Structure 1
Amino acid sequence: MAIHQAQLFRQLQDKAAREQTLNKIARSINSSFDPEFILQEIVQLTGEYFKVDRVVIVWIDLESAQISVRNEWRVNEEVACLQGFQEPMWEWLELLEPSADVNRYQIFHASNDPNVVESTNRLALLEQGQILSGLKIPIYIRGKFFGGIALHTTTKYRVFSQEEIDLLEQIADQAAIALYNAQSYEMLEELVKERTHQLEQEKLLSEAANLAKSEFLSNMSHELRTPLTGILGFSNILLQQIFGFLNDKQKQYIEGIYNSGTHLLELINDLLDLSKIEAGKEELLLEGFPIAEICQSCLTLFKERCWREHLQLNLAIADDVENWIADRRRLKQILVNLLSNAVKFTDSGSITLKVERQADTLSFSVIDTGIGIAESEQTKLFQPFQQLDSGLNRKYEGTGLGLALSRKLAQLHGGDITLRSQVGQGSCFTLHLPMLELPPPEEDEA
């Protein structure tokens, strides 16, 4: 009874040791996605548990049609090294496509069995490796033969128990899972690298295209402005009737030429500004100035038109708003664009320029009681050449560049322009302008 209990206790100890080894191997090989690390951990931990002289893992190489020893663990330096040993793939043909008919070949266990017939290559392996006993288990990844793991003894003969064979099969299964995960991770990494490379190439192409577009617009704008200046100058002289009187029809046509030329000049100037900003060539000229002064200057441009159209023009500046640092000309350009849009799309009511301060940011809100803008139309307003729907385009003409340019100029200052609007209730465009620092004064050369 005591002997039976002792045997049972040893069996339980052996089972616990096998499970502990399997868990240790599983934790170790699943801690990395590096196939070399995984396989080296397998041969080392397996060799230490089974107390054999050598553990090897062989890989299949489809290009060379060879099976080669890729990973090896030896108990000491006196054990012969098999690293790099190769044998033809046909020696392993029974393992390449696992099926029920060849299951008996999947485990090879030799313990000095004289009835086992070895091929020439395997005899060479036994001789070079000084193998006395061996246990070999194939490794399949997703049903395809990857290689195998083998235990060797070189100093004594050994018979491996069924429990040991089962454990090595479990280790082979764990290796297959870990290797599959590593291969999947490598494939994912390759896909990410490939996609990143594609995006970088697309970015370079996009930047090159944008630069070419900006240079083209800049060059064309300069070329167009020269003859346009002459058209505006001559038509203005004719309108002044310096060289003779015009009849009503002639005056009407020349006014049309002058107004169209003026509109075209505005478009060209906006194109030039936009292309400079996109090309990174636009620089801000920062200076300190009174906010009230620039706001009054902007409103003055629209007083007469608002009076003619019976629109109230209001200015509300918070008490804590005095001086600010920005590019005065660009700030005025933004505010004029916003006020111009407000006047253009307001038939009755009022337009208000409201200035408030929040910490180190000024908010310039242009509030109107005009037609308002549908939510579906708001997203495209800040895109170049985008205006409201075609019906409104016909009624309210414009270049389609004002808001796009204004936002670019605001962002150049480190700010932005936001919009709140409701159809039939009016709109509120707000310029958020942070406080900037004046550049240090240039030192005079000695």
Structure 2
Amino acid sequence: MSVPSGTTGSTGSTGATSRTGATVDTLAFATAGSVDDGKSTLVGRLLHDSKSVLTDQLEAVERVSASRGADAPDLALLTDGLRAEREQGITIDVAYRYFATARRRFILADTPGHVQYTRNMVTGASTAELTVILVDARNGVVEQTRRHTAIAALLRVPHVVVAVNKMDLVGYEESVFAEIAGEFTAYATGLGVPEVTAIPISALAGDNVVEPSAHMDWYGGPTVLEHLETVPVGQDPATRAARLPVQYVIRPRTAEHPDYRGYAGRIVAGTFRVGDEVTVLPSGRTTRISGIDLLGEPVDAAWPTQSVTVLLQDDVDVSRGDLIVPSAAAPALTQDVTATVCHVADAPLTVGQRVLLKHGTRTVKAIVKDIPSRLTLDDLSQHPHPGRLVANDIGQVRLRTAEPLPLDAYADSRRTGSFILIDPGDGTTLTAGMVGDFAAGATACGR
């Protein structure tokens, strides 16, 4: 059965189709690094050299650059769009950009480097499959480099690139690159980062960003863009247990479809097939999938990132906020939550505070029972029982929810293992949470 005309819920797909008819997938990635390491210049170079900049955008950058007395366009201005950022010459917010090549589409988050904007880096990297961490070749691995690497490990970003920038200022010396790459890789591996790729670049000159460098013939690896175009993406969620948070219940009540009842949402993990036995949580009712509609047409199966409408064999009570899962791989329900969190609000999070917890499409009341520790990102040591978390703090919390929730561990699913805490008074987002403890490797590395 197809979705009745005029209903919603079956939008989105796993990829776009190019002019040649080939499917083009999407990579979400983030950039990070210390202030003045060249993040915005790297992003601007990527956009400029990949022909992803509109003529009027480039003309605007050229005008601003000329007004500052620059001889060439300052490509960092392509991402530093806020007036305050342009005046200070730094990035203070997450700047999102969208571009594409013949091989792949990209969603790019250029995150700030200042310590006080750590929460912004968490925001930008939370949905990324790859993080590019820049290191100034003159300074090497510094404190903020370690912070950003720890956050990438905390957020379970599967691919990390260390871009050793400003190689032109150290004479393109291979030994400088090798020392920084070795130190960074050892640190990241100790944190549990599964894959590290080191690339020597000069974002300002364009070396190894889009085109191979003529100054570093000793380097035989990919350019930044080549790596972004070829790194495997989108494979991991499909291998997980299937999860579909219900966003809408579709009941058209038309003469043509008098009995239609569909449950629409975006698949966040795994694959659903017609005939699968599924359980609706938190009710625990079991049934089978009788149909799946995608873009108004029936399909036999659907997978992550697709927005679908699922039809069930039995008349089960399902509403927004419920989670449809395979019966053989249903998560346990719990009201006691232990999680690693990054506090993003200016007001502190305190023991005893009453909050709202939003998990997927479900929002429930909760109370902060304890804050066992705060993580010191400088050396990854644990500060026990701080009593509260302030903006940019990362720590452990224990929560008690008013209703049971079907939570996965964040290590198993970045989607159904995460949540946010909300101020019930004004709706402000307080905290980003990840179910489970901080990576054991990171704790060990903090000796």
State the TM-score, normalized to the length of structure 2.
0.20
Larger Rg: 1
State the TM-score, normalized to the length of structure 1.
0.20
In terms of fraction of residues, the more strand-rich structure is 2
Higher relative contact order (CA 8 A, sep 6+): 2
